[in-house]
Chain A
Amino acid sequence: MTDETGKPRKKTEAGSIDLKLLEILVCPVTRGPLEYDAAAGELISRKAGLAYPIRNGIPIMLEDEARAIED
């Protein structure tokens, strides 16, 4: 993840995630894969059209808390 200047963007503690956890996480609704958007601090499920927030480093893998996204 880089910004306009090409330098690595500094990850915020709040939205960062343990990579070891990311290996095994799937979307709780579709059980499909998740994309990690480090800039937004979200885990995105394309299939479900949902973005799960990461708060204080803790992914909130609940459908009720996820943001609906359009493709």
Chain B
Amino acid sequence: MQVFDRALLRRRRRRAAAGLGDHDFLFTEVAARLRERLGEVQRSFSSVLEMGSRRPVIEDFSGKGGAMDRLVRSHFGGGDAAGSGAATPVTALEADEEALPFAPDSFDLVVSNMALHWVNDLPGCMIQVNRVLRPDGLFLAAMLGGETLKEMRAALMHGEMEVENGASPRVSPFADIRDIGNLLQRAGFALPTIDRDEITVSYRDMFHLMHELRGMGETNAVLARRKTTLRRDTLMAAARYYSDNFTAGDGPGDGEGDGRITATFNVLYITAWAPHPDQPQPLKPGSATTRLADALGVTERK
């Protein structure tokens, strides 16, 4: 299903690339959190694909237990100037997460920082990631999901209802943990786990937040969006609603609020493995050799 205008997304990212350094807080923060998760994995990786990361999780070739053989960075619009000034040349290419140009079994780690929430065909993308991974390879990804930008969604809807008596999709639809878990399983991944992190950021006002999103190249690219820009009075009404309802520091014990608004970002973290016979498997039903009643020390009653 086509939800997102990928060509538009690519243009926006390219436009944002030069000034991304001023707006990369979220990308950098989540990259660090992914790095932490990777550090907990008792494994070294030799062939790595960093897929669609605007800020890299893997900064160089120095992996645990020896250097990597191969580190490939794929981007879709506005790459992070890969190779420029880096001591080790990193192999970069432009690729679509929906049509990966890699042979099967090419990598033992695919890591992706905040790219998957713009993918139309998430099941297809996951199947492809599974295919380019070697058996027992790791897929580690972070993407926006759930209640991300719920405040702005509410404010824009309110503004449009108030001024124009109608509303249109202004904020991307996001997947939630359950959806992603199902997709991973259907894509054939083993041992998938997903967890969620909430990052709340404060901004001066809604316009400041919108400026930031534009700087990140993350503004609305929903196909069904209205092609006209938001009317000024609609925007003003939305901004007013935002400031009235979602202000930082006005909870009890927070002292006097500074009038800044808050924006919620839900980050979903995916950990999943390409299947391998040595991984823990569920036993076949009926294959038990001990009775549950014995293990529990109770008498079995029929």
Q: Are A61 and B91 in contact (CB under 8 A)?
A: no
Give the CA-CA distance A57 to B76 in the complex, in Å. 16
With A20-B70, A24-B106 known as contacts, the answer to whether A60 contacts B93 (CB < 8 A) is: yes
Q: Are A61 and B92 in contact (CB under 8 A)?
A: no
Q: Are B91 and A20 in contact (CB under 8 A)?
A: yes
Q: Are B93 and A59 in contact (CB under 8 A)?
A: yes
Residues on A with C-beta less than 8 A from B106 are: 24
Q: Are A62 and B95 in contact (CB under 8 A)?
A: yes
Per-position 1/0 for B73-115, Cβ under 8 A of A: 0101001001100000101111110011111001000000000
Per-position 1/0 for B196-218, Cβ under 8 A of A: 00000000000000000000000
With A21-B91, A58-B93 known as contacts, the answer to whether A63 contacts B102 (CB < 8 A) is: no
| Interface status of A71 (Cβ within 8 A of chain B) | no
| Interface status of A28 (Cβ within 8 A of chain B) | yes
Task: Give the nearest-CB partner of B84 in chain A.
Answer: A56
Residues on A with C-beta less than 8 A from B175 are: none
The contact of A28 among B70, B83, B91, B95, by CB within 8 Å, is B95
Q: A-B contact count, CB below 8 Å? A: 54
With A20-B70, A21-B72, A64-B7 known as contacts, the answer to whether A28 contacts B93 (CB < 8 A) is: no
B76, B91, B95: most-surrounded residue (chain A CB, <10 A): B91
Task: Give the nearest-CB partner of B96 in chain A.
Answer: A62
With A20-B70, A21-B72 known as contacts, the answer to whether A62 contacts B102 (CB < 8 A) is: no
Residues on B with C-beta less than 8 A from A38 are: none
Q: Are B72 and A61 in contact (CB under 8 A)?
A: no
Give the CA-CA distance A65 to B6 in the complex, in Å. 13
Q: How large is the interface on B (under 10, 10 to 19, 20 to 34, 35 or more residues)?
A: 20 to 34
Residues on A with C-beta less than 8 A from B7 are: 64
Residues on A with C-beta less than 8 A from B102 are: 24-26
CB distance from B125 to the nearest CB of A (A): 12
| Interface status of A3 (Cβ within 8 A of chain B) | no
CB distance from A9 to the nearest CB of B (A): 22
Q: Are A25 and B103 in contact (CB under 8 A)?
A: yes
Give the CA-CA distance A28 to B131 in the complex, in Å. 13
The contact of A60 among B91, B94, B103, by CB within 8 Å, is B94
Residues on A with C-beta less than 8 A from B101 are: 25-28, 61
Q: Are A61 and B94 in contact (CB under 8 A)?
A: yes
A25, A59, A62, A64: most-surrounded residue (chain B CB, <10 A): A62
Contacts A57-B83, A58-B82, A58-B93 supplied; 20 other A-B pairs, CB < 8 Å: A18-B91, A20-B69, A20-B91, A21-B93, A24-B72, A24-B106, A25-B93, A25-B101, A28-B99, A29-B99, A31-B103, A58-B79, A59-B93, A61-B93, A61-B94, A61-B101, A62-B95, A62-B96, A63-B96, A63-B99
| List of 6 A-B pairs having minimum Cβ-Cβ separation, nearest first | A28-B99, A61-B101, A28-B101, A24-B106, A59-B93, A61-B95
Which B residues have a C-beta under 8 Å from some C-beta of A? 7, 69-70, 72, 74, 76, 79, 82-83, 89, 91-96, 99-103, 106
User: What are 23 inter-chain pairs, A to B, with CB distance below 8 A?
Assistant: A18-B89, A20-B69, A21-B70, A21-B72, A21-B93, A24-B70, A24-B72, A24-B102, A25-B102, A26-B101, A26-B102, A27-B101, A28-B96, A28-B99, A31-B103, A57-B83, A58-B79, A59-B94, A60-B94, A61-B74, A62-B94, A62-B95, A65-B94
